[in-house]
Amino acid sequence: MERKELIRTIYLYLFSLIGLVITVIGLVNIVNLGLKSFIFVKADQPIIYPAYPAKPSSTPADEAAYNSAQEDAQKKQEESQRERTAADALAMIIVGLPLFVYHWKTIQKDKKS
């Protein structure tokens, strides 16, 4: 085998492997996200520790508003984290799958000829 052919073959197999690994990682993240969203719903729930005792000057209405605002902020943070995970996973699949398919088809075409 000529040196250029060897380098080309190594390149094709390497980038095919890289594309496959990126795609698999993206798919694993999507499956993980789906499992946490629909089956293991408590997996992403944070542990909320009790708040510090309220100051003597605060009223129960102030405490309730504060607790409600904290819960809303926590829910928004969880939603944004899930969206970031989904975006990362989809980006990996969108980049990795064409990378793998192109290089693998090139390898198969070279084997036939």
* Residues contacting residue 70 through CB under 8 Å, at least 6 positions apart: 51
Whether residue 68 is contained in a domain is answered as yes
Nearest-5° Cα angle at 45, 28 to 32: 5
Residue-range definition of the domain harbouring residue 76: 13-43+58-112
Whether residue 3 is contained in a domain is answered as no
Domain tally, the chain: 1
Q: What is the pLDDT along the chain (113 residues), one digit of tens a residue?
A: 699 999 999 999 999 999 999 999 999 999 999 998 888 888 877 777 666 665 556 677 777 887 788 888 888 888 889 999 999 999 999 999 999 999 999 999 999 98
